[in-house]
Amino acid sequence: MSVSAHDPAQLLERLGRQLLVPGVELARQAALAARAVVVTLGGVGRSAGALEPDGQPGATPPIATAAEALLRALAGAGYGRLGLASALSQPVEPPDGAAWLTGSDGLSQVRTAPPPLAHVHLAVRPYGASADVLITESTDGWEEGEAHDATVATLVFDVGAPLSGADAIAFGALVARLLTEHDLGLSPLPASLHLRWPEDGGAPEVHRRAPTEGGAEVAPLASATLPPGLLKELQATPEVFGAILDHVERDWPDEACGFVLRHGDGRLEAVASRNLQDRYHGVDPVSSWRTSRTAFQLDARLLQRRLDDGADLAVIYHSHCEAGAYFSAEDARAAAPDGEPTHPATRHLVVSVLGGVAKATAMFAFDTEARCFAAEHGSGTLPAGWRRGAAGATR
Amino acid sequence: MAIRIKIPTPLRKMTAGKDVVEVEGSNVGDALRALEAQHPGMWTKIVDDSGKVRRFINVYAGDEDIRFLEGLETAVDARTEISIIPAIAGGV
C-alpha cells in the first residue's frame, strides 16, 4: 500500500485543518480540548540508527513523519494539549491550534501533563511500525496504590519491511483516527489491531483483538493487605532499591524488568535483565501483540544461571510507564498462568514511572487463602527526595 | 540418541520429582512427544490447542528460545539440552 501519489506536504497540511467528526455533537468534540496526547518515538537514544532512512543522513526519519501526521490530525480533531518527547535532532513542527506541551528538553512538560492523558509510542519495526496507546483517565487513588488497569492498545502496521516515508503519513493518520474515535465514544480501541498488507498489493489482512479478549478474570486485590515486609527492607537497602529505580527510569518509556536475589548471608542483590518483549513481538506480532512499551519478558536464561549459583529469588521487578504501581491482569496471568503461582515464594515489585521519573512502588505476594495477589502495606507514592536521605546520594 | 530435557519446578510433580528426563528424538516436537509418553499430561502443559508453545512457557534448545529457531521443528541432537522454563512476563 502506498500514498506516494500525493504530495506529502499537502497531505500533512490537510490533516491539520479543523475537522468535524460526522455524527458527533459539537460539544462532545469540543471536550477533546481538555485531553492531552503525548507522543514518544521508539529507539531514540538507544538505536537511533534504525530511525534514519537508508543513505539519507539528515533527512526526516519516517517515524518523525508519522508523529507529525498523528499530531496534526489530533490538532485538527480538536485535542487541546499535545506533546512530543523526542531526542530527534530535527524536531517535528508543532501543529496550529493546540497547546504544545514539549519543553526544550523534550520531557519537562510531558512529566507534568495531567490526565486525561494518552501516551502514544511510535516505533519502527522490522515488519513496518507499531503504535502503543495507553490512556490514563485519572490518577486519583494512585498515592494509595488504588490505580486500576489502564486502557492499553497495540496498533501494528505490517508492510513487510521497516516503514517508509510515504506510508508513514497514512500510519500516523490511522492512529489519530482510532484514538479520536475511542475518545469520542464511537468505537473502543481494540487490545490489538494487526494490519498486514500482502505482497501483491491487495487489501490488508486484519487481526483484531477485542479489549477484553485474551484475559482470564482476575480476582480483585485482597482487602487486607500484607504486613510490611520486603518493600521496607528493600527501601532500607539503598544500593539495591536505588539500582532498581535508576534502571526503570533509564529504560522509560519502555518497561524495564529484573530481579533481586537473596544470598546465603542474607545480602540482597539487584540484577537488571534485558526486556526481551520487542524481540518476541518482532517474530510474531500476532501472538506477542504487545511491545516493550506496555509489556515485559525477562531473560529467563539469565535468571536460571544466577539461581544455579545457589541464591534465592526474592523479588521480580518491573515498571509500568505512564500507569500506576498496580498488579495488572496481565501481570497476574503471567505470574500464575493456571491460577498457581510459578514462583510461590517470590514477591513482585511494580514501579510506576511517569514522564521518566519513578513515582510509586508497590510489592505484591500471592495470598494463598484469597487465591490472588495482594499488596504489602507501605506500597504507594515515594516520598520526594527519599533517595537523597537514605543513601546520601543525589538525584 | 538420548536428549536431556530440563523440567522446571512447577512441572516436577508430573515427573515424580525428576529435574531432568532423557528421551529420544531428532527435533524438539518429537522430544516433547516422547516426554508425554513417559509422563502423560506434559504435552498439554507446554503446547496449546493450536500446536504452539503456550503463551507463558518458553522452550529453549541450548541457549535460544525455539520461537527464534524453527519452533517445534527445531532439530536437536545429544549435544543439545532442551529446557522448559516458565516465562517471567507481564505488562500494564
Name chain B contacts of A298, Cβ cutoff 8 Å.
Answer: 87-89
The CATH class that applies to domain A8-209 reads alpha beta
Q: Where are the domains of chain B?
A: 2-86
Name chain A contacts of B88, Cβ cutoff 8 Å.
Answer: 257, 259, 297-298, 300, 303, 316, 334, 342-343
What residues pair up with A92 in beta bridges, in sequence order?
none
| Per-residue model confidence (pLDDT) at position A394 | 34
| Per-residue model confidence (pLDDT) at position A216 | 42
Q: Can you spell out the DSSP letters for A23-86?
A: TS-HHHHHGGGG-EEEEEETTTTTSGGGGSPTT-TTSPPHHHHHHHHHHHHHHHHT-SEEEEE-
Helices A8-15 and A62-77 pack at an angle, to 10 degrees, of 30
B91·A296 Cβ contact <8 A: yes
Name chain B contacts of A328, Cβ cutoff 8 Å.
Answer: 90-92
State which fold the A230-391 domain adopts: Cytidine Deaminase; domain 2 (3.40.140)
What is the rounded end-to-end Cα distance, in angstroms, of chain B? 45
Per the CB < 8 A criterion, the answer to whether A104 and A138 are in contact is no
Query: How far apart are alpha carbons A361 and A349 in whole angstroms?
Result: 7
Name chain A contacts of B67, Cβ cutoff 8 Å.
Answer: 280, 283-284
The answer, for B67 touching chain A at a CB cutoff of 8 Å, is yes
Smallest CA–CA distance, residue A287 to chain B, in Å, is: 8
| Per-residue model confidence (pLDDT) at position A283 | 92
Q: Mean pLDDT throughout B33-50?
A: 96
Per the CB < 8 A criterion, the answer to whether B3 and B24 are in contact is yes
Cell 537514605 identifies what position? A390
Which 8-state DSSP code applies to residue B75? Answer: B
| Per-residue model confidence (pLDDT) at position B35 | 97
Per the CB < 8 A criterion, the answer to whether A289 and A278 are in contact is no
Is the bond preceding A253 in cis, omega lying within 30 degrees of 0?
Answer: yes
Q: Domain B2-86: give its CATH code.
A: 3.10.20.30
- Segments of chain A assigned to CATH 3.40.140.10: 230-391
The answer, for B86 touching chain A at a CB cutoff of 8 Å, is yes
Q: Mean pLDDT throughout B5-27?
A: 95
- φ and ψ at A195, to 5 degrees? -110, 120
| Per-residue model confidence (pLDDT) at position A100 | 65
Q: What is the mean pLDDT of each run of 10 residues along chain A (395 residues)?
A: 62 78 85 88 49 52 88 88 69 61 54 79 92 86 63 93 87 95 92 91 88 51 62 90 95 95 95 97 92 96 91 96 87 89 93 87 87 81 57 36
| Per-residue model confidence (pLDDT) at position A53 | 44
| Per-residue model confidence (pLDDT) at position B81 | 95
b/e map A184-195, b = 16+ CB within 10 Å: beeeebbbbbbb
The answer, for B87 touching chain A at a CB cutoff of 8 Å, is yes
Which among B55, B60, B92 is the nearest to A134, CB-wise? B92
- Helices (H) then strands (E): counts for chain B: 2, 6
Which among B58, B83, B89 is the nearest to A295, CB-wise? B89
Out of A148-152, A195-199, B50-54, B74-78, pick the least confident. A148-152
Per the CB < 8 A criterion, the answer to whether A38 and A109 are in contact is no
Grid cell, residue B8, equals 522446571
- Segments of chain A assigned to CATH 3.40.50: 8-209
Query: How far apart are alpha carbons A389 and A386 in whole angstroms?
Result: 5
Reduce the DSSP state of residue A238 to 3 states and report it. Answer: helix
Out of A2-6, A388-392, B16-20, B55-59, pick the least confident. A388-392
One-letter amino acid identity for A174?
A: L
Name chain B contacts of A296, Cβ cutoff 8 Å.
Answer: 89-91
